[in-house]
A and B are shown apart, each in its own frame.
Chain A
Amino acid sequence: MLQLHFTNDTLPDHVCTDFQNLNKFSEQQFVRLTEILYQFLLEPKESERFLRQLTEFAGENGMSAGPLRALMKSVLILPHGALKRNLTAEQVKADLLSLGLNEDKATHFSDQWRIHYPVLSRLAVGQTLMVNQLVDMEWKFGVTVGTSELQKTGNIFLQLKLVIRKGNKTENVYMELTLPQFYNFLHEMERAKASMDCFS
């Protein structure tokens, strides 16, 4: 039973085999595969591009695309687990060595991990659940010149439109504030920011 940092589960045999098969690639091929892999990790929505690049690679290197894709699917398990568990580059390298990857390739992969880790973890934070996320704020303010009750006034009003993401769609919330309410709102938000700043 392998002791791995990136997962507590027992890996299926084919995954271990797949990692060992990586040793068969030349240095150049491995570097290119690693590049394709990290590109996908950094832009997880580009799955079509990822598969296309793998197919191209397979064609250029005289191998079938299907097994290559299956291989990369196994390999992806490691960075996904490593990200979830905030692993360091050393730990990633140790896991790769445990899985049977040779020293050079393990070093290269973990170096890339070190380089890309800050962006990857920020991406993971960004993917974390947010409830009713505020996405946009628009405002206008003006002066009420007159109403049906008052022929002439000079009242300042502030109108805010907040755009909130609810699931897949956005909702607009409109509201009006008087000047004192606006100053109070600004004051409260600055207090919230001060509170947040304490933690970072």
Chain B
Amino acid sequence: MAFLTEDQFTALQLLLKAPSKDAVRQICTESYPAGASKCQSTVEKTANALSVSNSEAMQLLTAFHMLSHHVVYQNLTSPEQILPIFPESFHSNLKNLITKILLENSVTWRNEALSSQISLPKLVDLEWRVDMKTASDSLSRMAVPTCLLQMKLQDTPCISGGPSESTVTMELSKETLDTMIDGLGRIRDQLSTVARK
């Protein structure tokens, strides 16, 4: 499985210069997010920690980034699945340490990938209130309950930029609310049918 080039494996071995296992862990977790190898401060931090040049640090971060994303993509969950990725000549202790770090973090990374995947704006908050309409221009005395619903949606772009929040406020009459709850009940039934299959 040679998706990482020989040069990249060589770059990974720069980790041998790390002062401690925790330093290796730190570098590995920092290299995971997208664009980490282009982030100036991360590159410099890594270069200082390993006493290597900035360009070597960038190569290392890129290599580890590819490796970790590969592990998450293929959902490799055991040492037996990860160890064969490395070439025979790779430093054995470092190989074991990297494998251990990958396994420690892969569940977190996987969940992160799931929660930040492409999607429609996500519902992040919901608020409601029930009002009683007591008068209007068409009826000077009335007692009509109505529901106001506010939903906060967050749109997190996958590629770049920060999340953008939008708020939607809407009014529901009693009939509308009943119909909506019917619809939601049907969703719940459909979901449990699918879950049972």
Q: B128 near A188 (CB under 8 angstroms)? A: yes
Q: Which residues of A contact B183 (CB under 8 A)?
A: 137, 139
For residue A84, CB closer than 8 A to chain B, the reply is: yes
Asked, given contacts A128-B136, A141-B191, A150-B113, whether A134 binds B180 with beta carbons under 8 Å apart, the answer is yes
For residue A25, CB closer than 8 A to chain B, the reply is: no
Q: How big is the A interface, by class?
A: 35 or more
For residue A64, CB closer than 8 A to chain B, the reply is: no
Q: Which residues of B contact A98 (CB under 8 A)?
A: none
Q: B73 near A151 (CB under 8 angstroms)? A: yes
Q: A151 near B75 (CB under 8 angstroms)? A: yes
Q: B74 near A130 (CB under 8 angstroms)? A: no
Chief secondary structure at chain B's binding surface: mixed
For residue B144, CB closer than 8 A to chain A, the reply is: yes
Chief secondary structure at chain A's binding surface: mixed
Alpha-carbon distance A186/B179, docked complex (angstroms)? 12
Q: Which residues of B contact A128 (CB under 8 A)?
A: 133, 136, 138-139, 142, 144
Interface residue ranges, A against B (CB under 8 Å): 83-86, 121, 124-125, 127-135, 137, 139, 141, 144, 147, 149-153, 155-159, 162, 164, 173-179, 181-186, 188-193, 195-196, 199-200
Interface residue ranges, B against A (CB under 8 Å): 69, 72-75, 110, 113-114, 117-123, 126, 128, 130, 132-133, 136-147, 149, 151, 153, 168-174, 176-181, 183-185, 187-188, 190-191, 194
